[in-house]
Structure 1
Amino acid sequence: MQTRGVLDRDLKRRNLLLGAAATVATGGALAGVAAFNTSRAPAAGLQKDLLSRDPKASKTAQAVYRLLVALETDARAGRRRGTLMGQHAEVHNERYNPEYGDHTGPKPPGYYYRKPRDITGKLPAFLELDLGPGYQQPGWGVGEARDYSRAAWPARRELWTYVNDVVDLALGVWHGLPREEDGSYNPTGTESLWNGTKTVLPENGGAPAGLVGMSFHQPWPGSPVKSYDQTLRRNAPSAKDPGWIDRLLTPGTAEHAALLLDLSFLADHLGYLAAHDVPVLLRPYHEMNSLGGEQSFWWAGLEPRQYTALWELLHHYLVGSRGLHNLIFVWAPTAWDGVHGKEPWDFYPGGEYVDVVGVDDYSGTPDRPFDPGGWTTTWHRGLADYGKPRILAESFHVPLGSAQRTTLDQAPWVLWTVWGDGLTAKNSDADVRRTYDDPKTITGGRESGPVGVRWPALHDGTFE
C-alpha cells in the first residue's frame, strides 16, 4: 500500500513541469522577521473569523471564511452539512505538455476545471491554480511591466504566458466567464497572443461560480533559472551550505533580498486579484514535513524554527508590506504516515498566521487506505486540535467511489481537492459522478450547491 503511494507521488512530481511569469517592482521592504512562536499548544476553540488574524481582511474574504467555518462547525458537531468539491488545474502542463492529461495533444487552459462538467454536468466549487517556476526559463523579470500589458516581458516568451491564464481563470471563477467589462484585461476569456495564436478559457455561466485558491511552487531564492528542478532540496544551496537558510531569513543579506524578489512575484499576481476583489485561499510552503529527502521541496529540509520564521516572513510581507487583505492562509503538511511525512506539529506557524489547515494525502488509495478504519480519517482527526477549518488539500482520488462511499461521513472535510490529471488518471467516470451527485457535495457554476450556498451572497459579503 505504501509503496504504491510513493509511486503515485513520483507520478505527480514528473507531471509538475511548472512555469513562471513576470512580476513588477518588489514593493515595500520588510523591516524584519517577527519572532517565531515558541508555544504550539492546541487551540482553545475554532477560529470564527478572519479579523482575529487580519483586522483589515476584505469583506469577501471574511464571507468565504464564514462559509468554511460554518461547514467545519457542523462537522465538529457530528454532522456533515456539505463538502466543497475542488479541482487543481496545472495550466502550465495543460498548455505546454502534449503528453499531459487524458489524451495526447495540447489542452486549453482550464481543461481540468472544465473536465468535471464534461463528466457530470457540474463544475467544481473550488479551483486551485499554481504560480511557480517554468521550463528552465530565466528569472522573474521583476522591474518590467507585468504581463497583463500583453506587450511586455514575458508575454513574448513562449513558455510564460500561462500565468495570464492562471490569473484570468481565478478572476473568472470568482466573477464568471465570460463577464461584462470589469476593468480586467480579458473579460471575454479569449486572449490573442503575440505569436498569432489565442487561448480560450472555459465559460462557466458568466456569473459567480465558486472559490479560488493558489499554490506557490517557489524555486530557491536567487536561482538564475526558474524550473521545477530548482524547487527541490537537492538543488538548493542549503544542500551544501548549512548557513544559507539563516542568511535567507536575515534582512540585509543578498539571500534575503532574493527571497523578497520571489515574494514580490507572488504579491504582484495576488495584488491584481485583490484589486478586482477576488479572495484567494493561499497555500504556500506545503509538505514541509516530507520524508522524501533530496526529492522534497527546499523548504522541507528546514528546522522547525526556520520554517515558521519563513512562513511569518511571507505573511508579514504579503499582508503588511504589500497590504494584501484578500488572503486566506492554508497550511498543508503531507500525510504523516512515516513514509511520506513525519508528524508536523512543530512546523505549525501558529494560529495568528494560519486560517485553514489541511493535508496532502498520497498515503493510500480508496481500495488500499492507510487507515482501514476509514480512508483519510486519521488525518482529519489529527488536524482537529489546530482549531481551524480542515481541508483535504491534495489527493489523486475523488472521495466517493466504488471502494469508498462513506468517506465524507467518517471524515467530513470542509473542502476536498483533486490534483490535476488525477481526476481522469485515477478515477472512473462513475466515481466522479458519484462524488459530484452526492446530496451533500457542494459544486460550482451559476447554480448553487444543494446545501444552499449562494455565490452572490459571498460576493456582497452577506453570507452568514
Structure 2
Amino acid sequence: MRMRGRVRLVGAGVTAALLAPLTWWATRPGGADDAGSGGPRQVPADLGARDPHATPAARRVYALLAGLENRARRGEPTRTVIGQHVELHNERYNASYGDYRGTKQPGYYYKKAHDITGRFPGFVELDLGPGYGQPGWAVGEPRSYSRSSWPSCRDRWGYVDDAVDLALGVWAGLPRPADGSYHPSGTHLDCASGTRVSLPDNGGGPAGIVGFSFHQPYPGSTVKGFEETRYQNSPAAKDSGWFGRVVTQGTAEHRALLLDLGFLADHLGYLAEHGVPVLLRPYHEMNARPGHGFWWAGQDPAAYRKLWRVTYDYLVNSCGLHNLIFVWAPGAWEGTFAREPGDYYPGGRYVDVVGVDDYSDTPRRPFRGRPWTQVWYQGLERYDRPRAMAESFYVPLGSARHSTLSDTPWVLWTVWGQALTYANVSTPSGRNTSEDVRTTYASSQVITGGGGRSPGFDRTSLHTTYVYYFPTTSCSSELHS
C-alpha cells in the first residue's frame, strides 16, 4: 500500500498541463466561474468547498460539470459529456459478453465508439470490482501498471491493473511511449489470442475524464465475484443485524469493510500519484426494494448513510485521496424495483454529483408517458448538484430521441458496456443502431473526447508533468488487520 498525503506539482507548465483535458466550457462567460450571479438556484462551483485539499485537476473537472449544470439551470444553451462504461473484466474473461463471441481486448467498448464515429467518449467509467470468482483482493501484490507488456495478461486480478492503466491513458493520452504503455511496434499483446493488436490510440494527448464504480462483494466474502455482490447471497439475507455491524467500528465486519476499501484505495492512490482525478461512484442503486439488488441496497437509510460516510472518511481523511469526485446514483425510482431515494442521500458534505441508473424506461416507451428520463432529471434537481445519467442502455440521441438533451441536459450521459452495440436481453427490440451512435457523437450538444474531431477537450500533452508525493497520512495499517 502506498503512503497517501498531499501532492506538490513540479515542472515547467505543470499547472496548465495538469488541467488540460477539460473543455473551455467551464470558464467561458456564463460558465462555472460566475455561477453565483443570481437567478435560478445554482450548484456549488468549487470542489474546494467540500474538500479544501482537492487537487487542481479534480477542481477543474468538477468546475466543468458544475458549469454545464448551472447553464442548464439558467435556461442557457449547454452540452453533455458523452460517456461509456467499460466492463473490462468481461472483455478480458467472458467470451459470451458483447457483440461477438470471444474475449475482447481491454478497452474494447472505449475503442468501439471511435470505430463507429471517429470520436472517443469524453468520459470513461471502469469498475474496480467485483472480481472474477477468485479468493482474496490481491491487496499489496506487485502491480503491472504502465509496463511494456500492457495489458498484463495476469490471471484473476490482472484486469484491474489494466483498468487503472486504461484510465491513465484516457486522461493522459495513448500512446505513451515514455512510460512503456506501448510496445515499440505501436501494438500490444492480445491476452486471448497471443497476437499483437493496436491499443485504442486516442492521439497521445489528454483525451477525456475518468470514473470508477465499485461492485463490491459483501465484506468478509471469501470469494470475490458478482454473485457475492447480491443481497440474496450476503449475510444480510439471513442476519438482520449484519449490515449494522458492517458500519460499526471495532466489529469484525467493519474490519472486513476496511480491507475492501483498502483494495479500492490501493488503485485510486496510483491515479492520485499521477495527477488523475476520478469520479467515484460507490454503493449505487441503494434504493432497491428490500431483499433485492446489492448487499447495500434496501437497508436502513441511516445505516446506508453511515456506510457512505465511513467510506468517504477512509478514502479522503485516512488515505489522503483528494483526487476524488463523489457520485451518488440511485436506481430509477419507478415504484416496483426501486423506491424514492431521498432518505439515502448522504448529504452535500459527502456528495459532489448526483445521478441515476435508468433501466425503467426506453426512448420509445418513456416512463408515465413524459419525455424520456425527465422524471429522474427533475427529481434530482433538489439536491443542488450536477446531474448525470450514470447508467443507460441507450445513447441519448438518434431515432425517437431527438430532443432528449434539450429536455434533460444531463452533464454526463454514460452508456453501459456492451449496450453500445448489443441488443441487451432487456431491450431486444430497442438497441442502439450505429446511426444512433453516430448522431449522438456528432451532435453539437455533446462533448466527446480527444483523438478525433473534438471541440470539447484541449489536447495539451501531459508528458512533461511529474509529481513529487509527500505522504502525510497512511491507511496501510488497515489493509491486513
Please indicate the TM-score interval, normalised by the length of the shorter structure.
Answer: 0.7 to 0.9
1:233 to 207, 231, 234: 231
> What is the aligned-residue identity percentage?
58
Measured after TM superposition, the shift of residue 375 of structure 1 is 0.3
Runs of at least 5 residues in structure 1 that lack an aligned partner in the other structure:
1-23, 29-42
Report the equivalent of 1:82: 79
Amino acid at match of 1:233: Y
Report the equivalent of 1:48: 45
Measured after TM superposition, the shift of residue 148 of structure 1 is 4.2
What is the rounded CA distance, in whole Å, between the counterparts of 1:156 and 1:408 in structure 2? Answer: 40
- Give the match's secondary structure for 2:297: helix
1:91 corresponds to 2:88: yes
Map 1:379-394 to 2 at 5 A.
379-394=376-391
Report the equivalent of 2:477: none
Map 1:288-299 to 2 at 5 A.
288-291=286-289, 293-299=290-296
1:120 to 107, 112, 117: 117
What is the rounded CA distance, in whole Å, between the counterparts of 2:283 and 2:129 in structure 1? Answer: 12
What whole-Å deviation, never above 9, does each CA across 1:8-32 have from its counterpart, x for those lacking one?
Answer: xxxxxxxxxxxxxxxx48989xxxx
Measured after TM superposition, the shift of residue 194 of structure 1 is 9.9
Amino acid at match of 1:123: F
Inter-CA distance 373–295: structure 2 relative to 1 (3 Å threshold): closer
What is the rounded CA distance, in whole Å, between the counterparts of 1:93 and 1:460 in structure 2? Answer: 34
What is the rounded CA distance, in whole Å, between the counterparts of 1:411 and 1:195 in structure 2? Answer: 41
What is the rounded CA distance, in whole Å, between the counterparts of 2:99 and 2:193 in structure 1? Answer: 27
Report the equivalent of 2:248: 250
- Give the match's secondary structure for 1:274: helix
Report the equivalent of 2:181: 186
What is the rounded CA distance, in whole Å, between the counterparts of 1:74 and 1:145 in structure 2? Answer: 45
What is the rounded CA distance, in whole Å, between the counterparts of 1:434 and 1:45 in structure 2? Answer: 30
1:71 corresponds to 2:68: yes
1:287 to 285, 288, 292: 285
Which region of structure 1 is more displaced relative to structure 2, 210-219 or 155-164? 155-164
What is the rounded CA distance, in whole Å, between the counterparts of 1:318 and 1:309 in structure 2? Answer: 14
Report the equivalent of 1:15: none
What whole-Å deviation, never above 9, does each CA across 1:156-195 have from its counterpart, x for those lacking one?
Answer: 862321112101110000000111425xx63658666999
2:419 to 418, 422, 430: 422
Is the 2:3–2:319 Cα contact (8 Å) retained in structure 1? no
Amino acid at match of 1:230: E
- Give the match's secondary structure for 1:92: helix
Inter-CA distance 239–60: structure 2 relative to 1 (3 Å threshold): same
Is the 1:84–1:443 Cα contact (8 Å) retained in structure 2? yes
- What TM-score comes out, normalization by structure 2 length? 0.81
Amino acid at match of 2:216: Q
Report the equivalent of 2:54: 57
- Give the match's secondary structure for 2:369: coil
1:107 corresponds to 2:104: yes
What is the rounded CA distance, in whole Å, between the counterparts of 1:269 and 1:200 in structure 2? Answer: 25
Inter-CA distance 156–449: structure 2 relative to 1 (3 Å threshold): closer
Report the equivalent of 1:140: 137
Amino acid at match of 2:238: K
What whole-Å deviation, never above 9, does each CA across 1:130-170 have from its counterpart, x for those lacking one?
Answer: 111223100113344345498xxxx7862321112101110
What is the rounded CA distance, in whole Å, between the counterparts of 2:69 and 2:448 in structure 1? Answer: 17
Measured after TM superposition, the shift of residue 441 of structure 1 is 0.9
RMSD: 2.7
What whole-Å deviation, never above 9, does each CA across 1:400-436 have from its counterpart, x for those lacking one?
Answer: 1111100000001111000001011220011111111
What is the rounded CA distance, in whole Å, between the counterparts of 1:457 and 1:347 in structure 2? Answer: 41
Measured after TM superposition, the shift of residue 77 of structure 1 is 1.1
Is the 2:235–2:242 Cα contact (8 Å) retained in structure 1? yes
What is the rounded CA distance, in whole Å, between the counterparts of 1:389 and 1:457 in structure 2? Answer: 28
What whole-Å deviation, never above 9, does each CA across 1:301-342 have from its counterpart, x for those lacking one?
Answer: 311100000000000000000000110000000001112311
- Give the match's secondary structure for 2:227: helix
Amino acid at match of 1:145: P
Runs of at least 5 residues in structure 2 that lack an aligned partner in the other structure:
6-39, 423-430, 466-481
What is the rounded CA distance, in whole Å, between the counterparts of 1:283 and 1:260 in structure 2? Answer: 17
Is the 1:128–1:213 Cα contact (8 Å) retained in structure 2? yes
Inter-CA distance 458–381: structure 2 relative to 1 (3 Å threshold): farther
What is the rounded CA distance, in whole Å, between the counterparts of 1:84 and 1:272 in structure 2? Answer: 25
Is the 2:128–2:215 Cα contact (8 Å) retained in structure 1? yes
- Give the match's secondary structure for 2:317: helix
Map 1:404-415 to 2 at 5 A.
404-415=401-412
What is the rounded CA distance, in whole Å, between the counterparts of 1:316 and 1:322 in structure 2? Answer: 8
1:444 corresponds to 2:441: no
